[in-house]
């Protein structure tokens, strides 16, 4: 069944939310906490080893009730069923959206157009397992008989960001293999990687769903050319493997069909790390850890599918995000993990969120008359505190932020971890309470500051507070908890797309730039600038003259 087409602003819940917003917008969170000492009891969710405290939001019980009404009135329940059951909900590409099948149990039956996909999913998983074990154990060797020491993942977008983020996040669990990532068509990127590797001991994993992506094909050809300076053509089969849906193009590249890991068109690029696109993750941390990552995602899938909406973590996060995006006019959301391991989480979720929900046409084909996709950005704490937190604390914009922290550090260093986590707690507290004039004045009095100086300085030292945050406290960063965390955000993205009545699983907006780049490349090659606007012609002429 296709997703229903319901303009959210036409629902009764939306109208009530608008009235409710008008009534509550000037109420501060400080007052809400003051008025209800047990507020946090109402606004927290516990699931597995996740604790979500969403009490530091500009909401009351009525807000949640109305947001839940909105979820019901846009048909979220039916949409979730269609999503998990393999309906063709990616309507503009006529495809199912089934990354959840990739982490489902083997016994599950998930059909796409009448065919159970689980046997194929597990056949590929078993292939990943066998291949990983052979490479990690050293049974599979390079063309001179040496074991592999390095892996290079060649891909871009979803064929790079997921594996790169997960390998970075799980480096504590890593084995001896060095894993590198080449994505940008910038030749300096690939050349910097080439500098670090030895052709005899490096395995190249070319990841491209379509096997037509300019960046990935150019980088693969450059690397193959470099490889063939020391090896023979037939050695390519030993050192290059591919993950793709496009067997013909992969074979034409010289890759042995036995070394192709298939994927399916019902896996979107930005949700593909659960497929063989995650081969580099499996190679880096071993298959069992990779499988645990998938298991964690599967547990979150079950939670999302079965928990009542008022107990459902992804639904709650999505509704809060809609509340700020569409009623408070928030344009962006910050993502602040308090672990250096998650430094690539924000770039990863930028693709997930912004490629999915950066749409302005509703499911009925007409332009939407409300805001959609939020802008996602962020950096780990505490680094971000010393970079952009000033703006969140005292700037003019409302920036809801997710704080993600872990109870246990991986190396057990409590000295560092307690300092890290005291910052984690302090920041959301500071964002909630701010600092009043009276508090600032009391500090001045204590310092014995003159009346004139105090009066001049006071406005700059006041923090209004009332800045919304979600706090997600997870027991420990493990492959399993990372899997759950990523799946949580994937489902948040899905819920938002359903509410905003858009198609979250296509990405037509990235095509135009690709097409223009191809015709501009022809002009650069032939040194003839054709018809452009005056700015583009001016720039191209400057480039050609000075290159
Ligand atoms: O940026 C557009 C996009 O199609 C992404 O959705 C995808 O992740 C990326 O390009 C790479 O595509 P492919 O895996 O086909 O090389």
Residue 303 falls in the annotated catalytic set: no
What's residue 395's pLDDT?
A: 98
DSSP-assigned letter for residue 327: I
316 ligand 1 Cβ < 6 A: no
Residues 6+ apart with CB under 8 A from 462: 434, 435, 436, 437, 440
Residue corresponding to tokens 């912004």: 354
Length of the chain: 547
**How far does the centroid of ligand 1 lie from the alpha carbon of residue 159, in Å?**
7
What's residue 382's pLDDT?
A: 96
158 ligand 1 Cβ < 6 A: yes
Flag whether pLDDT at 503 surpasses 80: yes
Q: What mean pLDDT value characterizes the chain? A: 97
CB of 278 closer than 8 Å to CB of 166: yes
Flag whether pLDDT at 172 surpasses 80: yes
- Which of 155, 157, 219 has the most ligand 1 atoms within 8 A of CB, as the residue to mutate? 157
Residue having the nearest C-alpha atom to atom 2 of ligand 1: 510
Whole-complex ipTM: 0.97
Q: What are phi and psi of 94, to 5 degrees?
A: 55, 50
Q: pLDDT tens for residues 152-165?
A: 999 999 999 999 99
**How far does the centroid of ligand 1 lie from the alpha carbon of residue 488, in Å?**
22
When mean pLDDT is compared across 15-29, 188-202, 243-257, 369-383, the lowest value belongs to: 243-257
Flag whether pLDDT at 363 surpasses 80: yes
The average pLDDT across 126-144 equals 98
Ligand 1 atom with minimal separation from the 156 CA: 11
Task: Reduce the DSSP state of residue 490 to 3 states and report it.
Answer: helix
Going edge to edge, which strands form the sheet with 202-207?
Answer: 178-182, 150-154, 202-207, 240-244, 260-262
Q: How many angstroms separate the CA atoms of 517 and 271, rounded?
A: 26
Ligand 1 atom with minimal separation from the 158 CA: 8
Residue having the nearest C-alpha atom to atom 1 of ligand 1: 157
216 ligand 1 Cβ < 6 A: yes
Catalytic residue among 42, 514, 530, 542: 514
Q: How many angstroms separate the CA atoms of 410 and 174, rounded?
A: 13
**How far does the centroid of ligand 1 lie from the alpha carbon of residue 420, in Å?**
36
Helices (H) and strands (E) in the chain, counts: 23, 13
Q: pLDDT tens for residues 272-289?
A: 999 999 999 999 999 999
Residues 6+ apart with CB under 8 A from 426: none
Residue having the nearest C-alpha atom to atom 3 of ligand 1: 157
The average pLDDT across 458-471 equals 97
What's residue 2's pLDDT?
A: 86
3-state secondary structure 356-369: HHCCCECCCCCECC
Residue 355 falls in the annotated catalytic set: yes
142 ligand 1 Cβ < 6 A: no
What's residue 148's pLDDT?
A: 98
In angstroms, the Cα distances linking 114 to 76, 84, 111, 121, 479 are 24, 14, 5, 16, 33
Q: How many angstroms separate the CA atoms of 543 and 547, rounded?
A: 6
Q: How many angstroms separate the CA atoms of 141 and 148, rounded?
A: 6
Residue 514 falls in the annotated catalytic set: yes
Q: How many angstroms separate the CA atoms of 453 and 455, rounded?
A: 5
What's residue 190's pLDDT?
A: 98
Q: What's the alpha-carbon Rg for the chain, to the nearest Å? A: 26
Flag whether pLDDT at 1 surpasses 80: no
Catalytic residue among 386, 419, 453, 542: 386
Closest by alpha carbon to 45, among 317, 338, 319? 317
Q: What are phi and psi of 54, to 5 degrees?
A: -115, 25
159 ligand 1 Cβ < 6 A: yes
The average pLDDT across 303-311 equals 98
Provide the b/e sequence for 163-195 (b: ≥16 CB within 10 Å).
bbbbbbbbeebbeebebbbbbebeeeebeebbe
510 ligand 1 Cβ < 6 A: yes
**Exposed (0-12), middle (13-18) or buried (19+): which is 349, by Cβ within 10 Å?**
buried
Closest by alpha carbon to 517, among 154, 214, 188? 214
Please state whether 475 falls in left (phi above 0), alpha (psi between -120 and 50) or beta: alpha
Say whether pTM exceeds 0.90. Answer: yes
210 ligand 1 Cβ < 6 A: yes
The average pLDDT across 207-214 equals 94
Q: What are phi and psi of 263, to 5 degrees?
A: -135, -175
CB of 261 closer than 8 Å to CB of 129: no
Return the structure tokens found at 216: 């990935």
Q: How many angstroms separate the CA atoms of 173 and 175, rounded?
A: 7
Ligand 1 atom with minimal separation from the 277 CA: 14
**How far does the centroid of ligand 1 lie from the alpha carbon of residue 510, in Å?**
9
208 ligand 1 Cβ < 6 A: yes
Catalytic residue among 355, 359, 491, 492: 355
């Amino acid at each position: 069944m296709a997703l229903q087409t319901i303009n959210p602003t036409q629902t009764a819940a939306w109208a009530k939310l608008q009235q409710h917003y008008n009534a509550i917008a000037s109420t501060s969170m400080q007052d809400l906490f003051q008025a209800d000492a047990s507020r946090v009891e109402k606004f927290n969710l516990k699931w597995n080893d996740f604790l979500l405290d969403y009490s530091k939001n500009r909401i009351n019980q009525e807000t949640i009730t109305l947001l839940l009404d909105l979820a019901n009135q846009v048909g979220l329940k039916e949409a979730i069923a269609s999503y998990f059951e393999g309906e063709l909900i990616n309507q503009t590409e006529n495809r199912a959206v089934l990354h959840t099948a990739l982490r489902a149990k083997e016994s599950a039956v998930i059909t796409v157009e009448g065919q159970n996909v689980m046997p194929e999913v597990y056949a590929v998983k078993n292939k990943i397992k066998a291949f990983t074990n052979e490479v990690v154990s050293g049974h599979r060797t390079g063309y001179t008989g040496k074991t592999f020491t390095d892996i290079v993942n060649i891909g871009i977008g979803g064929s790079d960001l997921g594996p790169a983020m997960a390998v970075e996040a799980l480096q504590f669990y890593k084995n001896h293999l060095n894993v590198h990532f080449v994505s940008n068509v910038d030749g300096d990127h690939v050349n910097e990687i080439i500098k670090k590797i030895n052709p005899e001991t490096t395995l190249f994993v070319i990841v491209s769903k379509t096997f037509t992506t300019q960046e990935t094909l150019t980088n693969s050809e450059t690397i193959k050319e470099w490889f063939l300076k020391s090896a023979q053509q037939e050695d390519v089969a030993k050192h290059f493997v591919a993950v793709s849906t496009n067997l013909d193009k992969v074979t034409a590249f010289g890759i042995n069909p036995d070394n192709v890991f298939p994927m399916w068109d019902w896996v979107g690029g930005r949700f593909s790390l659960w497929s063989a696109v995650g081969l580099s993750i499996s190679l880096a941390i071993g298959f069992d850890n990779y499988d645990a990552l998938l298991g964690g995602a599967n547990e979150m899938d079950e939670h999302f599918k079965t928990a009542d909406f008022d107990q459902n973590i992804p639904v709650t996060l999505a509704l809060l995000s809609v509340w700020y995006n569409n009623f408070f006019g928030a344009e962006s959301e910050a993502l602040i993990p308090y672990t250096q391991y998650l430094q690539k989480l924000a770039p990863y979720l930028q693709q997930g969120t912004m490629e999915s929900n950066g749409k302005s046409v509703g499911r009925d084909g007409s332009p939407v008359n409300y805001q959609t996709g939020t802008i996602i950005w962020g950096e780990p704490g505490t680094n971000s505190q010393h970079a952009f937190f000033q703006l969140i604390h005292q700037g003019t914009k409302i920036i809801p932020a997710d704080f993600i922290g872990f109870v246990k550090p991986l190396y057990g260093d409590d000295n560092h971890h307690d300092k890290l986590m005291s910052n984690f707690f302090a920041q959301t507290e500071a964002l909630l309470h701010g600092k009043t004039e009276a508090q600032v004045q009391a500090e001045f009095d204590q310092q014995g500051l003159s009346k004139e100086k105090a009066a001049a300085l006071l406005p700059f030292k006041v923090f209004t507070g009332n800045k919304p945050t979600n706090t997600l406290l997870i027991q420990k960063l493990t492959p399993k908890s990372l899997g759950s965390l990523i799946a949580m955000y994937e489902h948040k993205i899905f819920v938002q797309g359903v509410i905003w009545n858009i198609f979250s699983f296509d990405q037509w907006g990235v095509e135009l730039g690709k097409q223009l780049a191809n015709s501009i490349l022809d002009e650069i090659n032939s040194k003839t600038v054709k018809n452009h606007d005056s700015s583009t012609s001016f720039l191209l002429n400057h480039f050609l003259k000075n290159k």
